[in-house]
């Protein structure tokens, strides 16, 4: 079993752990005017998108021969997953597929940003929805991988988190911790929204 590793690579990736605290303090004054419907719809999108992302990663690993047993059943893949090392897979990727991976990641950020823009009218809420959706999507991605191929086998597995501008590598617990703190920061800043109705008012 892999030993616990505290730091991610490159060094500046570790600064991500400060982002949820900055978000919490930044949105503390004034709170966030987001409804449970907005957060719920964004969360459902993020969960579904996370599973799609996990499926794409499985297909790509199978395409380059890094996922043994994929020609059989999911049980065959799960039995062979013990020899799988996600952190080293980036070195085995053909340049063509690696280029597609980079563009796929960029497209992912654009999609999450579009959901945020469509979900709220003010910039602070848009940022909050983007971070909320990103955090849930990232967690759902790992859940999707585990549900299908039983990877990661533990939270100490090394993973390539992102490729832009250079590969980010850390154990799986690190992005899950940042994502969990981000969700908590958004929830703690959500304001209660009251609907005021006037007797006799029928609207337009």
Residue 196: what pLDDT?
44
Place 198 in a pLDDT band, splitting at 50, 70 and 90.
Answer: very low
Could you tell me which of 79, 35, 81 has the C-alpha nearest to residue 58? 81
Q: Does some domain include residue 13?
A: no
Residue 85: what pLDDT?
65
In DSSP terms, 170 is beta-bridged to 159
Q: Does some domain include residue 14?
A: no
pLDDT tens digit sequence for 7-47: 999 999 999 999 999 999 999 988 899 999 999 999 999 99
Mean pLDDT of 146-175: 92
Q: Does some domain include residue 11?
A: no
Place 185 in a pLDDT band, splitting at 50, 70 and 90.
Answer: very high
Q: Does some domain include residue 154?
A: yes
Residue 201: what pLDDT?
43
- The total domain count for the chain is 1
Tell me the C-alpha distance between 149 and 61, whole Å.
Answer: 12
**DSSP state, residue 164:** S
Q: Does some domain include residue 12?
A: no
Tell me the C-alpha distance between 202 and 176, whole Å.
Answer: 47
In DSSP terms, 163 is beta-bridged to none
Q: Does some domain include residue 204?
A: no
Residue 166 belongs to domain spanning = 31-189
pLDDT tens digit sequence for 151-162: 998 999 999 999
Residue 132: what pLDDT?
97
Tell me the C-alpha distance between 114 and 108, whole Å.
Answer: 10
Distances (CA, A) of 131 to 9, 32, 62, 96, 134: 22, 13, 31, 30, 5
Q: Could you tell me where the beta strands, DSSP code E, fall in 3-80?
A: none
Q: Does some domain include residue 17?
A: no
Q: Does some domain include residue 23?
A: no
């Amino acid at each position: 079993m892999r030993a616990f590793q505290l730091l991610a690579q490159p060094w500046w990736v570790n600064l991500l752990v400060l982002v949820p605290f900055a978000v919490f303090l930044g949105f503390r004054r004034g709170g966030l005017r987001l409804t449970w419907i907005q957060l719920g719809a964004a969360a459902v999108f993020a969960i579904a998108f996370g599973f799609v992302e996990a499926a794409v990663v499985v297909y790509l690993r199978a395409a380059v021969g890094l996922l043994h047993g994929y020609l059989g059943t999911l049980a065959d893949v799960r039995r062979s997953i013990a020899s799988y090392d996600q952190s080293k897979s980036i070195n085995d990727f053909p340049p063509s597929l690696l280029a597609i991976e980079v563009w796929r990641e960029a497209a992912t950020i654009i999609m999450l940003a579009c959901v945020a823009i469509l979900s709220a009218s003010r910039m602070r809420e848009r940022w909050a929805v983007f971070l909320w959706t990103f955090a849930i999507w990232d967690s759902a991605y790992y859940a999707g991988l585990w549900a299908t191929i039983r990877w990661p086998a533990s939270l100490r597995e090394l993973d390539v988190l992102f490729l832009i501008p250079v590969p980010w590598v850390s154990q799986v617990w690190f992005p899950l911790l940042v994502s969990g703190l981000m969700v908590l920061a958004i929830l703690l800043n959500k304001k209660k929204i009251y609907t005021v109705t006037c007797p006799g008012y029928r609207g337009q």
